[in-house]
């Protein structure tokens, strides 16, 4: 193993991903996002800002036969994503605001995105440059949503995971371009406010807005010990690669 990379198990060992030892490292967020995607074999999937490929490849491990494409602007992460996915994953090194023509000419059944969470106008930048690129917003969130909507085929779905405080902006921007919008809040524990949301919208969708019951991630009302405390439903996603239905 390289001195600068680790090979980490996801989905209970069903998937292994090369990741940098330092910088941004994929956690549970892209795994949970992928678990909510109701894809079927043959669907075309685009992962915007794919990093090392965690979301797309977790989805591909659960649903065989998908056509997976990722876009990542950092060459180091794009290279690792390609190595992680091999021939089953087309990885394009590009900024999402400057997609190459062969991506702009295509439509996708599902677009996934785990954009940078933090506006640097009201938060402090990370010291590590690669980590800052992954966490600190440079491209406005509105552009992520607009680009995702453009790349969707009719009746296709956009899937986002983000901080709950950005939900008003997500709903505003999705509402301009997508319909049938659904929100799944993610709460760390019983009695705690949600910190993340997974939001799904459909191109040409006409369904009513739906706000789902929060998904509780951990057992107990507070952290008491360093152990695996995920509730069974979440543990099935993280350890067994199960789907997570809204």
Q: Is the pLDDT reported for residue 2 higher than 80?
A: no
Q: Are 107 and 66 in contact (CB under 8 A)?
A: no
pLDDT in tens, 135-168: 456 899 999 999 999 999 999 999 999 999 999 9
pLDDT at 106 over 80: yes
Angle between helices 141-151 and 167-177 (to 10 degrees): 30
Strand-pairing partners, residue 157, are 110, 202
pTM above 0.85, yes or no: yes
**Domain coordinates in residue numbering, the chain:** 27-184+194-208
Over range 68-90, report the average pLDDT. Answer: 97
DSSP H or E segment with residue 146 = helix 141-151
1: confidence class by pLDDT, cuts 50, 70, 90: low
What's the chain's length in residues? 246
User: What whole-number distance in Å separates Cα of residue 59 and Cα of residue 67?
Assistant: 11
Helices (H) and strands (E) in the chain, counts: 8, 13
* Contact in structure between 80 and 55 (CB atoms under 8 Å): no
CATH superfamily of 27-184+194-208: Vaccinia Virus protein VP39 (3.40.50.150)
């Amino acid at each position: 193993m390289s001195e600068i990379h680790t090979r980490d198990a996801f989905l209970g060992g069903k998937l292994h991903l090369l990741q940098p030892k330092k910088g941004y490292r994929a956690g549970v967020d892209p795994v949970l996002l992928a678990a909510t995607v109701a894809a079927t074999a043959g669907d075309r999937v685009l992962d915007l800002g794919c990093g090392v490929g965690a979301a797309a490849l977790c989805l591909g491990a659960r649903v065989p036969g998908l056509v997976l494409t990722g876009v990542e602007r950092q060459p180091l992460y794009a290279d690792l994503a390609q190595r992680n996915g091999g021939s089953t994953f087309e990885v394009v090194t590009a900024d999402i605001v400057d997609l190459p023509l062969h991506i702009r000419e295509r439509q996708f059944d599902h677009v996934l995105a785990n954009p940078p969470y933090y506006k640097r106008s009201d938060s402090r930048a990370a010291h590590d440059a690669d980590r800052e690129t992954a966490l600190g917003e440079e491209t406005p969130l509105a552009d992520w949503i607009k680009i995702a909507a453009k790349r969707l085929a009719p009746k296709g779905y956009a899937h986002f995971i983000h901080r709950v405080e950005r939900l008003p902006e997500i709903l505003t921007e999705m509402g301009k371009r997508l319909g049938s919008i659904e929100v799944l809040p993610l709460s760390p524990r019983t009695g705690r406010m949600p910190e993340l949301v997974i939001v799904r919208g459909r191109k040409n969708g006409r369904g009513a807005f739906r706000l789902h019951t929060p998904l509780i991630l951990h057992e107990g009302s507070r952290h008491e010990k360093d152990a695996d405390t995920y509730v069974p439903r979440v543990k099935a996603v993280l350890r067994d690669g199960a789907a997570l239905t809204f």
